[in-house]
Every structure is written in structure tokens, then in C-alpha cells.
Structure 1
Amino acid sequence: MCGIIGRVGDGNALEPLLTGLENLEYRGYDSAGIAVQNGSGIDVQKRSGKVDELKESIGDATLDGKIGIGHTRWSTHGPPTDENAHPHTDGTKDVAVVHNGIIENYVELKSRLAGYGHEFTSDTDTEVIPHLIQFYLDEGLTNEAAFRRAVEELEGSYAVTAMLSGEHVLYAARQGSPLVVGMEDGEYFLASDVPAFLEYTDSVVYLEDGDVVIVDEDGVEFTDLAGNPITRESETVEWDPEQAGKGEYDHFMLKEIHEQPTALAQALEGRIDTTNERIALADFQPGTFEAIENVQFVACGTSYHAALYGSLTLNQAGIHSSALLANEYSVSAPPTDENTLVVAVTQSGETADTLSALRQANEAGATTVTVTNVVGSTAAREADEALFIRAGPEIGVAATKTFSSQAVMLTLLGQRIVGDQHGEPSADLGVLLPELAGMPDALEEMLERSDADAIASRYANSQSYFFIGRGLGFPVALEGALKFKEITYEHAEGFASGELKHGPLALVTPDTPVFAVFTGEEDEKTLKNAAEAQTRGAPVIAVCPAGHRAVDVADAHLEIPETESDLSGLLANVQLQLVSYYAADLLDRSIDKPRNLAKSVTVE
């Protein structure tokens, strides 16, 4: 869960490297560093802390060179110290390396190299890579051959980029961790994710596991590990560079919350036909899912909550489905065969646990689909089909617009599955589709009128925060609690409404606000559960339409527009996102970069 940037081209590499690190900081912000070829060797500047602190430490130092690499780190091996920051070098400082992933055999490699006299100065697994390259250089291998031999010995997951003194060349390899190439008029980039270089180019090549690339001023050479040439097609990324900036907003998270009307409109465009009451998912031919006997959704974190939302809508339609944590799938997966559909839900398409579950499902012969935001991602390539949510870049670590888009796309996918299973569209499709089409406008209006900031201020500094919901309100309650704890660092829990009296009520005090989500599904029961907390002194905040009975009973109200019960939870979720944001802002938290978290979890 780190960010890599590399650059080759005319002019000084320092500015694009620092820009890339700033754009990648959502992937890790424990430490940062850069290395540049300065004409007489490799100059490395690195330190613990955020990219801004690295820039301050560089100050007026001259880091001239056309080629360089950079890295922003989320710690796995070793604490966030100056010594553990990347780039790492060998003992001669003729080799510099940045790495994302985990080298599982680094202890063995480190011990072997130490036996040959190599001295290590960090606690990281990455440091063995430059020493291993240098070992093979000392054996008389060329730079390229030494890099390939070193990579051959690595076990685990990695995206690694190396720079060697005396030549304007970058060497890179990928296995299990993302790496993408950017190209534009003699300037070339290597990065963990497209936003790193989006200001400079929108022409990209997504690398696949086992790929090795050699980048110099003349271009990019794609090979396998043995050196055999391979072909990788370039793609044009449709993201606008401005989408990766904060614009007029104080934080990326607030910007991305307010982008949800646009994100949903993009997700729905060309996929629903309200006039003819049909769903048009071009990648799925009629009857694609008619032989499916059960559906498994696999995901982690926020994507898991979207998966649970999708699973519940299918179960309500009479299709057997389950939502499973991808990180538990290897030990608890239900029986899977050719009549099983496995839907992997992952914003980045690179989530390690979800990819592992996807591969397990593929091996079992299941039909696999991924619902993701990134064209060219590993999940999109490895699943049988990909359904893209089209949410645009999401930089804030706490997912917002991607949850809404995922849930909507899973609703559409669920309706297609129902139609294939039953031989005709579901009876309520004629009602659902117009409501879906109206969601962007409903969200826009709600965002303009929301008083979530006042609610956040009213209940600031409470001891604990509970979120409850029933049916499709349950995953929204889970997501509301997750968002709150992620960025406020305050204790928050989400529950199915009926579970309150099975233990959690013991924690309820007058200092425990309860956010109750009303979706139109058994709302009287949810209201009763909320009242059980209220009688014990807890303030209740009803998240529901203006005319709902709960408004008269609750202590406070977060209003959502009237809509179908299948969709009302998604509107409630946006209000809860705003409450979390404003509560975190009042506490002066690092909203876009919450402590201990990174955007893309690319290691298991």
C-alpha cells in the first residue's frame, strides 16, 4: 500500500516526481523520498512524514537530472523512520529502488547477502532488492541482467522500479501489485496509479503480472521476465486532470461527496431505458445468468457494504445470494462450481484479498464478474466480465462516491440476474428505473439543503456513536459507522436494528447518539428499536423523509427525499457521509489521509 512514481524525459525530473508523490499520497503517507540521477551519481532525499515535509527538507537543494524515482510509504516492515523511507540503495549507492508489496523471502535473502558482506541500514524488506541487484553486478552481469536475476529471486507481491548510476534507464517489474506506464511526447512515467501523472499524460499501459519494462528516453520496451518481447496496448484514460484536484473544496472527501450526482449519472448513462422498462448492460448477452444457481459477492471494507447491499436486493427478489468478506473467503467460502456467479467488488481493482478470492473462484470454475472503477485493473482483466462504475478518480482515503456507484451498479446487475432467471424483468422494474434516473437530481437537491453540519456540531464530543438500520438500511448503518470511525477516530458501531437489544444496549448512555436509518422496510420495528435506546437516554437522529412518523419521535432529523425503499438507503448514506465529514472537521482530523489507513490495500 505504497505509491511509486518514476520519470524519464527532457528537463529536470524533480517537479514531476514531487507532483506524482503529492497525487499518490492517498496510497501512503508515513514517509516519502525521491532519487535523481544528478550526472555524477544518484542523489537520494527521503524522510519520515508527509510529502510536504519532504519538500521542505529538499528546500533549495539542487536535484538536477532527467530521470528519477519517488515513493510514498505506508509501513508494513519497519516503523515510519527516515531510514525506512524509500528509495533504498545498495552499499555503493549505485542502485536505487522503490517498491510496493511484500517480499516474503526477504529474511532469507538478507541473511545470504549479509554473508557476502552486505550491510543493511533499515528494517524494510525492500532494502534486499538493491543489494541483490548489486550482488549480481559484482558478479559481472549487465545492469539489465542483474535486475532480472534479482527479480527472479523475489517471492511475494511486488511492483518494483530500479535506477542504476551512469545510465538514463528505469527498470520495473510487477507481480501482484499495480504498476502502470504513462507516455507523452518523449516523456515517460511509471506509477502505482494513473493520478500520479495525469497532469502530464492520459495515455497509459497497464502492466500485468510477470511483466518487465525498460524505460529510457527512446521509449518503453515490454518483456517477460526471461526477456522475451511482449505486446501491451496503450489506452486513453477518460479522467480529466481537474477531477484529481480539490477545486474549491477544503478536502477531497467533501468534493467527492458532492460529486456523487455526477458519478451516478455517469454510472447510469446508457444502462437504463425508462421508456421500454429495460436495463442495458452491453457486456452481458441475454441469458448470461440463466444457469446461475447462487450468487456470491466478495469484497472488503466499504466495497463489502456495497456488496451486502447488492446481496440483500437479490435475496429479496428470490435469488439465493450471500456477501462474503474477501479476506475470509479462503477459509470460509461456500461450495462453488460452474453454476455459481462470484461478483468481486473493488474500487481500485487491485485489492489483494479480493483478487485472491476472485482467483479462487476462477479456479473453482465459477462465472466471475468484477464491479470496479478502474479500466485495465487486475480485477477487470482476470474476471470473466467487468462492470465499470465510472465514478472517476477518488483521492480521499474514505470511499464516498464509489460506494454509491457500486451499490447502484449492483442493483442494476441484480435486476439483470433476476430477468435472466425468471425469463422476464421483475415486476417492480417499471417503478425502480424512473427512481434510479431521478437519483442524481434528488442527491443534488439533498446536498444543497443538508443540515448535516448542524447535526455534527450538536453531537460533537459524544462518547460513542451508534448507527442502526433494517433490511437495506443495515449495510448503510455499517457504512455510516465505518466512515465515522475512519475519519473522526471516535468510537462508532453499526448494527442491524433488532440486534440492539441483544447486547449493544448495554453500551447505550445519554452520551451515545443513535442514527436510525429508515428505508421503508419494517420501519415500525426500527422505530421501536430506536425507542429502546431513547428510553435509556440516548438521543436518536432519524434519517428519513420529511413526512415520516420517526420525525415526530426523534431528537433530531436528517432529511432524505422520498424514493423507493431499494434506493432510500443510498440517499441516507450520503447524509451520514456529511455528518462524518463535518464531525471530523470539527475535531481537526486529517480527513483525506486518516491515520494508519491507505486507499488501496494491495497486500494481504
Structure 2
Amino acid sequence: MCGIVGIIGKENAADILLQGLEKLEYRGYDSAGIYVTDGQGENHLIKSQGRIADLQKKITGELTGTIGIGHTRWATHGRPSERNAHPHTSENGRFTLVHNGVIENFEEIKQEFLQNNSLGGETDTEIVVHLIAHFSKTAENTKTAFKQALKVIKGSYAFALIDNQEPEIIYVAKNKSPLLIGLGEGFNVICSDAMAMLQETNHFVEIADGELVIVEKENIQIEDQKGNLIFRESYEAQLDLNDIEKGTYPYYMSKEIDEQPSVMRRILEQYTDEQDQIHVEASVVAEAAECDRIYIIACGTSYHAGWAGKRLLEDLAGTPVEVHLSSEFSYNMPLLSEKPLFLFLSQSGETADSRQVLVKVNALGYPSLTLTNVPGSTLSREAKHTLLLHAGPEIAVASTKAYTAQIAVLAVLAAAVGAKKQNPAASVFDLTAELSLTAAAMETIVDEKMMISQLVESFLSDTRNAFYIGRGMDYFVSMEAALKLKEISYIQAEGFAAGELKHGTIALIEEGTPVIGIITEEATAAHTRGNLKEVESRGAKTLRIVSESLAGKQDQLIIPTVHPLLTPLVSVVPTQLIAYFATLHRGYDVDKPRNLAKSVTVE
């Protein structure tokens, strides 16, 4: 993985590809490359390790061409290097290919078909382009050779292939990895994400798994695995180019942290009726009200949001909830209840681990609901129901507003189901009023940026590790807070249930170790304060994030008090800012942390 772009039918193909790759930078990558041809024998293949800027430096003179493909790579097979960067070419130079995904049987393919081939790199993608060239020796045409290769390949893929003997076509195929065709007047484009080609078109056609597409400048032809032609209507991407620009902000993450209060208000607008009552599609509410257990399936930040959602759904809807990591659940499915509902949390809607679970859930015939930020994404299309996050594009690799949007939409769902079931807890919970107050509380915190920056400079400037602790909802936020800190500042951070410290983890506390305590629950506040005293007595430096109603004179970060079920929406904001400023003070790139990708489309 990470991102694919392609263009056919425009004179400035190289410029369009580079602009598209720049728009995909947010997904994370370690190398990049483009291939451009004019169809008259003028072919250009340029690759570079590092950023798009490094690739641009290698482009000298004008690249002429009307057809091309480009790629940003996040290494799965082979180290980040120029030789492992995409596009890859066949041994005879005829075929050029870009690929997202993982080919599971690439070693077997190499042994069976390519023992005499000379390979320049270490990637599974290079194996595929050599395989296509192998089949082309006996196939009647390139499409047939491509289809023969697809029958052999096992794994996930999104392919874009150019045969320099047919420079008026880009061949495309996908399985599990996202890919779109963009439609223009006299040209067409290919992209992993609509954002990459919004400057060219906002009309896109989705491709289903197992389909092959012939893309020409005036036409596209979609075929299923049996060769049957498929007609599919295009859709208009509801994105504004201004939404994916930083504006006056130095980093996307800063912009997205600041946008969270407005996201809360947008969610209320989308999920309330004219009487300001919570409104969710009746079929979704009915399905959730009738189930006997909800299984939340998610990864990373979404997994942490799921824990906050568990409390909301159990308290307001009165339904038992289990929270599972997608990558574990797929291979270790527990005993299920009689009437389960599977709820998938994913910012992108393309998370491969979660999709693997959804495929199994669909095969078992169980109902499913996806909460995602991307309409038309794979998890949205393949689940029975979808609730959108309405957070707007999230570009920074470290998720912020998608996390809080997930919790807010889970609160909407919980309130709606609780009302349907006439659960007493839901009847006294005015989500519209409470979420409005929460949005105002979030604004109060983002206005205190400079104070948080100063605290971070003195508290985390030179540490190698740090701990977050809390209980209940505060423990759930501690896990997310630690993830934010580690993924962008590279501080080795862990989030623990405060009561568990003395059962082993306190052995790691030494002089100067930073420990951040989150305290928003009245019932457990004294206990967490006691745990902070325990680590202080062993030399730790402590910082306390405390709700105003529970605050004391020695507490450094005081946050507004909101409804207990919504505290994660408020208490997480200072931890996002702590991670942001810790990264700035250490001189790292906030938006593009090393080794990480925004949308994880491989298992």
C-alpha cells in the first residue's frame, strides 16, 4: 500500500499525477514514483525514496505524456528504497504496474512461473508485473494475460497496469483494496481516494472486488470475473477542495483539533429533527433495539472510541456490548449471542482488518452497522446499515476529530435506541442539550493552547517514556491519549487503568518519569489521586487533567465539567494538544509520523 493515481487523455499527465500524489501524502508513505508515456515511444519512469518533494527534484525538464500512473508506497515487502518503489516494470520493459495491497502467494508464484526471471527489487508487486509479462507470451491480448494473472494471485490488491504497446488503455482491477475511476470530459482518472483527483473531477465510479476495468480517455468498461459487462452509475463526491487545505494552520492536526466543536454541532444538525429530537433511521434503531448483544469491531483509535461507546450503549440503551480488535476477532471469534448486531467503527471505511470480519459476519447472516466518515467506502457499502460521522476530511495521520465524532455518533445511536426501548436512563438524558454544552467545553480547551504548550515543554521535552492513567471512562481516554503521544512524538507512552499500576507497572516508575492522570469521575477521583501519590513517592513527575467540579489547587489542567457519559469528548482534547506540542518541541512532522499510514488497507 499506500496510494494510487492514474490519468489518461490529458497533455500534462505528469503534473496531474504529482498533484494527485501530493493530495495522498496524508495517507503516509516512504517512497513514490510515476510513469508517463506519450504513446509514441517517449516513456518516463521516475522513482524516489522519501517525500513527493524528493521525487519532484528528480524530474528534470518537461515530461511529455497523456497517460500515466503514480504511486506512494508504504513498505510491506522489502525495505523502503528507490528500487522497491512503484511503479514496477516487467523484465522486457513492456508492462508497468502500480499496486496497493499484499500478494499472499508471491513466493509460490515466483517458484512456479518466474524462476528464470531477473528481479530488481524485493516487492510482491514486481512479481505480479513479471507474471503478467509471462502470460502475455501465450495470451491473445493484454486483457487475457492480466485476467490469467488475477486468477493465480491470492491476496488484496488494487492494480493499475499500462502496456506500452497499447498506450491508449489503463487496465485496472481490485480486490479488498480501495480504488475509484474518475470521469472527465475527454479524459479519465484513477485514484485510491477521491481527494487525489478533485482538482480534475468530482464524478467517480466505484469498483467492486473481482472486477476488471478497461480505462480509456473517452470510455470505461467494467467486467466481472466471468467477463460480463457491468454498467454502474457514477456518483458526485461531496467534497470541497477547501476542506482538504490547511488554510492558515501550520499543520492539519492543529486544524482538525480546532474543528471538533463544529463537528459536534454538525452531528447534532444531521441527527436531530425539526423539534430538536434525536432522529436516526428507523431500520437502524429497530435492528439495534432488537439485538441481545452488540459487538463493536475496530482498530487503533476507533477501538478506543468503541470503549467509550460501550458505556454509552449499555447505560442508555440497556444492551450488553463487547469491544473487540478487528485483527484478533477475525481469527478468534468468541461464542456469539443468539441475536448479535455487529457495529464497525472506521474513519476511512476501508480498514482491511475490519473488512475481513465484516465478510465473515455477512456470510453468517448477522446484521451489521458501520460508523464511518466516508460515504460509499467499502465497509459502508458492504454493511447492512451505515451512520456517517460528518466530521469532514481528516488528513493528519493521527486521528482527532474522527475519534470524537465516533463517540458522538455512538451517543446519538445509544440515545435513539434507549428511547425506542423506553429505557429510563435515556428518558432523562437530553443529548441535544448535553452535546451542545460539550461542544462549548471543547472550545474552551482549544483556546488554552499556549498554556498547554508551556506545560508540555517543561513536562515532556526530553523524556523517553510516559504514562497516562485513569479509571472508567478516564481509562478509555488514557489509552487513546497514549496512542496519540507515541504515534507522533515517538515517546514510548502507555495508557493504564490507574488501579493496575501497583500490580506490576509501577516497577517501571523511576526518577522523573512523567505520569499524566485523568480525573473526571467523582466515584473514582480519590482513588486515582491516590495512585498519583504512589508514583510521586517513587520519583514520578505528575500532571493532572481534572474536571472543574473535582479540581484542587495543585491540578494543572482544569477542564469544563460535562455530563459523565460525554466526558471523553472533553478530556481527550488536552491530550491531543499535549501530543501535538510534544511533537513540535521535538522537531518532528506532526502530520506525517514515520512508519504510519492513514488508511490501513492491508491485514
- Above 0.5 in TM-score? yes
Q: Which moved more, 1:438-447 or 1:388-397?
A: 438-447
Q: Which moved more, 1:472-481 or 1:515-524?
A: 515-524
Match among 521, 526, 529 for residue 528 of structure 2: 526
Which residue does 1:454 correspond to in 2? 454
In 2: Cα distance, 1:72 partner to 1:338 partner? 45
Do the aligned partners of 1:183 and 1:203 also contact (CA within 8 Å) in 2?
A: yes
In 2: Cα distance, 1:219 partner to 1:553 partner? 68
Instruction: Kindly provide the amino acid, as one letter, of the partner of residue 594 in structure 1.
Output: P
Q: 1:530 offset after TM fit, Å?
A: 2.0
Do the aligned partners of 2:32 and 2:49 also contact (CA within 8 Å) in 1?
A: yes
Which residue does 2:103 correspond to in 1? 103
Instruction: Kindly provide the amino acid, as one letter, of the partner of residue 292 in structure 1.
Output: C
Which residue does 1:492 correspond to in 2? 493
In 2: Cα distance, 1:569 partner to 1:423 partner? 23
In 2: Cα distance, 1:514 partner to 1:585 partner? 20
Q: Which moved more, 1:537-546 or 1:160-169?
A: 537-546
In 2: Cα distance, 1:42 partner to 1:101 partner? 26
Q: 1:412 offset after TM fit, Å?
A: 1.4
In 1: Cα distance, 2:222 partner to 2:398 partner? 35
Which residue does 1:147 correspond to in 2? 146
Which residue does 1:133 correspond to in 2? 132
Q: Does 2:516 correspond to 1:515?
A: yes
**Compared CA separation, residues 234 and 418, structure 1 to 2 (3 A):** same
Which residue does 1:540 correspond to in 2? 542
3-state SS, counterpart of residue 350 of structure 1: coil
Which residue does 2:221 correspond to in 1? 221
Do the aligned partners of 1:337 and 1:365 also contact (CA within 8 Å) in 2?
A: no
Instruction: Kindly provide the amino acid, as one letter, of the partner of residue 371 in structure 1.
Output: L
Q: 1:359 offset after TM fit, Å?
A: 2.0
In 1: Cα distance, 2:282 partner to 2:128 partner? 42
| 1:563-574 correspondence runs (5 A) | 563-574=562-573
In 1: Cα distance, 2:440 partner to 2:419 partner? 27
Q: Which moved more, 1:39-48 or 1:300-309?
A: 39-48
Which residue does 2:502 correspond to in 1? 501
Residues 473-518 of structure 1 deviation map (CA, whole Å, 9 limit, x = unaligned): 1111000000000001111110112112222222223422222112
| 1:268-347 correspondence runs (5 A) | 268-272=268-272, 278-282=277-281, 284=283, 287-317=286-316, 318-336=318-336, 339-347=339-347
Structure 2: stretches of 5+ with no match in the other structure: none
In 1: Cα distance, 2:282 partner to 2:133 partner? 48
Do the aligned partners of 1:464 and 1:511 also contact (CA within 8 Å) in 2?
A: no
**Compared CA separation, residues 275 and 512, structure 1 to 2 (3 A):** farther
Q: 1:413 offset after TM fit, Å?
A: 1.4
In 2: Cα distance, 1:298 partner to 1:64 partner? 47
Do the aligned partners of 1:163 and 1:171 also contact (CA within 8 Å) in 2?
A: yes
3-state SS, counterpart of residue 248 of structure 1: coil
**Compared CA separation, residues 423 and 520, structure 1 to 2 (3 A):** closer
Q: 1:437 offset after TM fit, Å?
A: 2.4
Which residue does 2:468 correspond to in 1? 467
Q: 1:316 offset after TM fit, Å?
A: 3.5
Do the aligned partners of 1:206 and 1:377 also contact (CA within 8 Å) in 2?
A: no
Which residue does 2:50 correspond to in 1? 49
3-state SS, counterpart of residue 101 of structure 2: strand
In 2: Cα distance, 1:331 partner to 1:173 partner? 27
Do the aligned partners of 1:21 and 1:196 also contact (CA within 8 Å) in 2?
A: yes
Q: Which moved more, 1:311-320 or 1:64-73?
A: 311-320
In 1: Cα distance, 2:171 partner to 2:109 partner? 20
**Compared CA separation, residues 472 and 526, structure 1 to 2 (3 A):** same
Which residue does 1:383 correspond to in 2? 383
Q: Which moved more, 1:364-373 or 1:303-312?
A: 364-373
**Compared CA separation, residues 54 and 105, structure 1 to 2 (3 A):** same
3-state SS, counterpart of residue 517 of structure 1: strand
In 2: Cα distance, 1:210 partner to 1:186 partner? 27
| 1:2-41 correspondence runs (5 A) | 2-38=2-38, 39-41=40-42
Aligned residues: 597
In 2: Cα distance, 1:331 partner to 1:35 partner? 39
Instruction: Kindly provide the amino acid, as one letter, of the partner of residue 178 in structure 1.
Output: P
In 2: Cα distance, 1:483 partner to 1:336 partner? 32
In 1: Cα distance, 2:130 partner to 2:285 partner? 55
Q: 1:185 offset after TM fit, Å?
A: 2.3
**Compared CA separation, residues 110 and 332, structure 1 to 2 (3 A):** closer
Q: 1:422 offset after TM fit, Å?
A: 4.0
Instruction: Kindly provide the amino acid, as one letter, of the partner of residue 537 in structure 1.
Output: G
**Compared CA separation, residues 260 and 186, structure 1 to 2 (3 A):** farther
In 1: Cα distance, 2:338 partner to 2:213 partner? 37
**Compared CA separation, residues 227 and 305, structure 1 to 2 (3 A):** same
In 1: Cα distance, 2:141 partner to 2:337 partner? 48
Which residue does 1:477 correspond to in 2? 478
Instruction: Kindly provide the amino acid, as one letter, of the partner of residue 264 in structure 1.
Output: M
TM-score by length of 2: 0.95
Do the aligned partners of 1:468 and 1:494 also contact (CA within 8 Å) in 2?
A: yes
In 2: Cα distance, 1:235 partner to 1:560 partner? 43
In 1: Cα distance, 2:8 partner to 2:442 partner? 44
Residues 310-339 of structure 1 deviation map (CA, whole Å, 9 limit, x = unaligned): 012223344211111111103433322551
Which residue does 2:352 correspond to in 1? 352
Do the aligned partners of 2:292 and 2:337 also contact (CA within 8 Å) in 1?
A: no
Q: 1:268 offset after TM fit, Å?
A: 2.3
**Compared CA separation, residues 83 and 279, structure 1 to 2 (3 A):** same
3-state SS, counterpart of residue 526 of structure 1: helix
Instruction: Kindly provide the amino acid, as one letter, of the partner of residue 182 in structure 2.
Output: G
3-state SS, counterpart of residue 126 of structure 1: helix
Which residue does 1:160 correspond to in 2? 159
Q: 1:374 offset after TM fit, Å?
A: 0.9
In 1: Cα distance, 2:553 partner to 2:233 partner? 60
Task: State the Cα RMSD in Å.
Answer: 1.9
Residues 189-235 of structure 1 deviation map (CA, whole Å, 9 limit, x = unaligned): 11111111122222122211112111111122222133211122211
Q: Which moved more, 1:540-549 or 1:484-493?
A: 540-549
Do the aligned partners of 1:465 and 1:513 also contact (CA within 8 Å) in 2?
A: yes
Q: 1:101 offset after TM fit, Å?
A: 0.6
Instruction: Kindly provide the amino acid, as one letter, of the partner of residue 527 in structure 1.
Output: R
Do the aligned partners of 2:391 and 2:402 also contact (CA within 8 Å) in 1?
A: yes
In 2: Cα distance, 1:112 partner to 1:504 partner? 51
**Compared CA separation, residues 186 and 264, structure 1 to 2 (3 A):** farther
In 2: Cα distance, 1:534 partner to 1:112 partner? 62
**Compared CA separation, residues 40 and 403, structure 1 to 2 (3 A):** same
Which residue does 1:81 correspond to in 2? 81
